[in-house]
A and B are shown apart, each in its own frame.
Chain A
Amino acid sequence: MSTGVAEPEKSQALPERPKELAMHFDSLHQQYNAGKLGVWLFLGQELLFFCGLFTAYAVYRGNHQEMFHYAHYFLDWKLGGLNTVVLLTSSLTAAWSVRAAQLEQRKTLIATLVITFLCAAAFMVVKYIEYSHKIHIGAVWSSHFAVADADLPAALTERYPDIKGEDLQRMGMGTFFAIYFCMTGLHGIHVLVGMGLYIWLIIRAVRGDFNRKYYGAVDFVALYWHIVDIIWIFLFPLLYLIG
């Protein structure tokens, strides 16, 4: 190695730098703020990413109100509601984990991170149950939509005794499910990414990386997790609670 040119920090007798502080920042505070601004911008990007789908939803719902009306019978608001509760709980623990990291409460930190992860996993399990049921009865996208009369939701046949699976198919019910699977699928991918991030945080928390001055990663992932949660808060009524 050349003498001290590549790493002049060490040769100069500067006040000691925390090991977490990257070379181009003056203080941990500045580093934290830069990261946080980056995450907020990323969240802005996420909103616009989903915006297109919400616009598509609005256009199709405006054009085909009856289709959305019939479609909502296929979605179980109880399962959706359960998932809403699960996600809200995880948002609480995510926020709690930030507090725990700031106060250097290591056990609480690890516990809240693990609970957040488990809630995310529970959400995906419920999602799996919903998806597999729909795929099983053939309530899927576009021209693939084909539900046998026997598989129609009880609430739907009760309200409209004469309705047949074919009628729904002709009505273009597949378009609703195209939107449904795109929106919830994209959201689901975000939940999976969040789960990965929480595993990473758990590993770092167990290793003892975080302290009262360096807890940015916990904060940033929690912010991301909140936006995933907020998007679901919009998806749930728009898809499940339309009557």
Chain B
Amino acid sequence: MEKRVTFGRWTIGILFAVPQLLLIFTFFYWPAGQAVYWSLTLQQPWGGGNIWVGLDNFRSILANADYWNSITASLIFAGISTGLAMVIALVLAALTDRQLAGSWLYRVVLIWPYGIAAPALAMAFRFILAPEAGFMAFANHFWPGVWDPGLDSADAMASIIIAFSWKYVGYNFIFFLAAFQAIPRSLIEAAAMDGSGVIRRFWDIQFPLITPTIFFLLVINITESFQDSFGIVDIMTAGGPANATNLMVYKIYSDGFKGLDYSGAAAQSIILMLLIIALTIVQFRFIERRVHYR
């Protein structure tokens, strides 16, 4: 879509775009290019600039078991937390959309968690799920040693998944509810006249009509699980125990800023960028369908 009426003096027009162009050049394109450069070079230990090493950084990362472990952990985290957050949000939104008495309350309250900073909710869940003091201590009291995120990798992974899903249920809920409310009421009523029940109407009318939203949220949730997980991991587990929760962004941070291995961290960043770009392209393939339904 284009404007029919525009302003003639296009030099002024460009001036309006200059602030943003300067910002994205300095803080986006230059660093992104720098990351590519660093990933292909190796910094000399005693100064003297970078030497060209080609794809060696990538080779050494991909040969590193720790890195594959980090990828696996990220994928497990992304898969389970996305699944949990989306299914729970879908059920809650579908039920809220039935608009029974009191549904306004859920519409208001269920989105609160999304406003909370990841590290703050991580702190809350660290306490709630603490083996010695919180509520899981109760479980440990009856079955000693059944829950200890500090020592058991599966428990640690479960903790960060619970914390992340709790936040993103709220986020997904907003989008699902908006999608449900965009479905014309007359469709539902016509189906009800034809004698279909609530469950039948959900599967045959509402669910197909919100598939675009489902695809959209799927991509967003997976992308966010790569980024927004950092605060949760840092506060709750710090990547431990035994690297079980050393997710990709956390590993970039610890390799780059604690291990001071810029080249390795840059190579990891490039791999993560490619992964996210691939996901975004998948999302764009579904954008047409999304627009189609509206």
A, B: real partners: no
| B interface, CB within 8 angstroms of A | none
| A interface, CB within 8 angstroms of B | none
